[in-house]
A and B are shown apart, each in its own frame.
Chain A
Amino acid sequence: MSFKKSPFTFSLLCFGFAFLYIPIFLLMFYSFNYSKVVPVWGGFSVRWYVELFQSEEIWSAVGLSLQIAIMNATFATMLGALAGIAMARIKRFRGRTLFSGMISAPLVMPEVITGLSLLLLFITMAEIIGWPSRGITTITIAHITFSLAYVAVIVQSRLVGVDESLEEAALDLGAKPYRVLIDVTVPLLAPALAAGWLLAFTLSLDDLVIASFVSGPGANTLPMLIYSRVKLGLKPDVNALATIIILIVAIGVCVAGWILSRQEKQRMADMQMAEAEKYDFSDEPQSSR
Chain B
Amino acid sequence: MSEPMIVIDGLTKRFGPFTAVDAISFTVARGEVLGFLGPNGAGKSTTMKMVTGFLSPSEGRASVCGHDVVSDTLAAQRTIGYLPEGAPAYGDMTPRAFLQFIARVRALKGAAADHAIAEAVAATELQGVLDQPIDTLSKGFRRRVGLAQAILHNPPVLIMDEPTDGLDPNQKFEVRKLIKRMSADKAIIISTHILEEVDAICSRALIIDRGRVVADGTPAELISRSRYHNAVTLTVEGQLTVQSAEMLKALPGVVSMDVTARGQETVLTLFTARATASAAVAGDITLVDAVARVAREQGWIVRALYGEPGRLDEVFRALTRSDIDATFNAKNVA
A and B from one complex: no
User: Which residues in A have some Cβ–Cβ distance to B below 8 Å?
Assistant: none
